[in-house]
Structure 1
Amino acid sequence: MSLPQTLPAAIAQAQTATQAALAQGETRLLVELWLPEVKPMPLVREFLPAFIAWGQTGRVVFSDAGGAALARRDWGTVPWRVETLREPHQPGDQGVVVVAPDPAEVAQVRTLVETAICPVVLLNPRLEDAGTVGIGYAGRRLRQEFLQTLVTAYHLRPVEGGAVLRIYPHPWQIWREDSAGNYTLAGELPHAPDGETISDTLNPRPTGGGDFWRGLGQLLRALRA
């Protein structure tokens, strides 16, 4: 497992990781490629061919009718159904990919996931920013409970001095970038790292405390001599 060097390589990793998670029976998945300048529409178009076997029993779901109409126009004829969050599941559906839902769609996305009769993949969702929509404590708690039911199949995110990577079923990884632009593995974790963990891994603090106490012990022994 290594850090991808190109966008096509990252998409290929995401496809493989998602298929691996589906094969293990996971049905509520996150796929996150937080890459600068990469827009959701072309990203999902390149991601979907891995699930071409779904055919018309597969759904690509957009938050609004405008996004769905734009996809239909730009993509032309595709094997899967292009729909909105308001459209219901159909008997025999094999999979759903929800494209970049934002905080305003938390309730609708949760309803879709919880009523699904098939696996649901959330591609680049921004649901954790829901504090901006004015929901109260109870709403935030329910949102967090929902997010905790999701499994991250793939996550790739540049951070200052490195990148964070998760490829299901492997651990989360933190990669450090050197001055030449090369990456080396700096650490692995069983869960998603927070900002402090990422910073501490990429910028380890000096470990001079042990030298201080060792030096102090030597001084005390010398004074007793």
Structure 2
Amino acid sequence: MTQSLEPVLLPDNLEDAIAQAINATHLAIANGATRIVVDLRFPELKVLPIATEFAVSFNQNYGNNWQAIFADAGAAALAKREWADLDISVRGVNEGRRAIREDDRAFLIIEPTSVEVEQLEKLLQLAGDRPFVMVNPRLENSEVGLGLAARQMRDRFFNTFETAYYIKPLELGALWRCYPQTWQVWQQTELGMEPMAEVSQRPSSEDIDRLFRQKTGQRSGNFLESLQQFFNALSR
């Protein structure tokens, strides 16, 4: 079993965050995880550059025996153009069995939404015990109009996944997880970002607010709207 030898620290730029996410993903796979989610919750972040870095790493690990699967046909078409020199098979979620070839060794699903959960479950069954990695899923972005049964199916589906990497800037800190480390809440201080608490499971916004009130007397469960402001705080 592969082990992480040194603790990983909160990244101070987007490139390092992506590199950490890729390393955490392949470490989780090496340790036997097959359902993996990576989520970089930065404002107005374009997912294709992140997916490109993941695609390069998948090529290095699996050759051309893997599939990149997009929820949106337009995003898939754009990726085909951008990745013309990378020898990557790109499919859409709606292509069903064609998206899960028998000789594929892994699958990278980019930015799926709750609308595709039923199709994703079918793909997951076809994938079996092969690595199935979701990058920046947006399974909460279609809450309006989503019935109770659909929400329950989405939650049941999502709860079967191991979070290999998660980072979310907050007004006064950050929520972060880099596999195999625990979930960490960081706070912004005069000296820069410092760890505040470690928890075994992903904390809710209410949990984070409670932690900040206990430690600082302030609330910080709100999403930070400036990516540059966040990394400026980290690099001080």
Alignment partner of 2:112: what SS? coil
Counterpart position of 2:234: none
* Structure 1 residues 87-108: Cα deviation after superposition (integer angstroms, max 9, x where no partner): 3211111111111012221211
Q: Given the alignment, which residue of 14, 17, 34 partners 1:27?
A: 34
Distance 2:28 2:12 in 1: 23
So what's the TM-score if we normalise by structure 2?
0.81
> In terms of Rg, which structure is larger?
1
Counterpart position of 1:84: 92
The answer (yes or no) to whether the contact 1:63–1:85 under 8 Å persists in 2 is yes
The answer (yes or no) to whether the contact 2:165–2:179 under 8 Å persists in 1 is yes
The answer on 1:162 being equivalent to 2:170 is: no
Q: Given the alignment, which residue of 89, 93, 99 partners 2:110?
A: 99
Distance 1:48 1:153 in 2: 16
* Structure 1 residues 178-205: Cα deviation after superposition (integer angstroms, max 9, x where no partner): 246x100000000001011111222326
Counterpart position of 2:204: 194
- Structure 2 counterpart of 1:62, one-letter code: F
The answer (yes or no) to whether the contact 1:174–1:198 under 8 Å persists in 2 is yes
Moved more, 134-143 or 40-49: 134-143
- Structure 2 counterpart of 1:6, one-letter code: N
Where does structure 1 differ by over 3 angstroms across 4 or more consecutive aligned residues? none
* Structure 1 residues 97-131: Cα deviation after superposition (integer angstroms, max 9, x where no partner): 11101222121122212321321101000113342
The answer (yes or no) to whether the contact 2:117–2:157 under 8 Å persists in 1 is no
Rate the CA distance shift 1:48–1:202 in 2: closer, same or farther, 3 A: farther
* Structure 1 residues 17-60: Cα deviation after superposition (integer angstroms, max 9, x where no partner): 10111011111110001112320111111222222232221111
Distance 2:152 2:92 in 1: 26
Moved more, 155-164 or 73-82: 73-82
Moved more, 18-27 or 101-110: 101-110
The answer (yes or no) to whether the contact 1:68–1:84 under 8 Å persists in 2 is yes
Q: Percent identity?
A: 37
Q: What stretches of structure 1 of length at least 5 have no aligned partner?
A: 208-225
The answer (yes or no) to whether the contact 1:54–1:80 under 8 Å persists in 2 is no
Counterpart mapping for 1:1-225 below 5 A: 1-52=8-59, 53-87=61-95, 88=97, 89-117=100-128, 118-132=130-144, 134-179=145-190, 182-204=192-214
Distance 1:7 1:121 in 2: 20
Alignment partner of 1:128: what SS? coil
Distance 2:215 2:75 in 1: 46
Distance 2:194 2:23 in 1: 22
So what's the TM-score if we normalise by structure 1?
0.85
Distance 1:60 1:178 in 2: 40
Query: How far is 1:206 from its partner?
Result: 8.0
Distance 1:62 1:179 in 2: 42
Count of paired positions: 205
Rate the CA distance shift 1:163–1:66 in 2: closer, same or farther, 3 A: same
CA RMSD, 1 decimal: 1.8
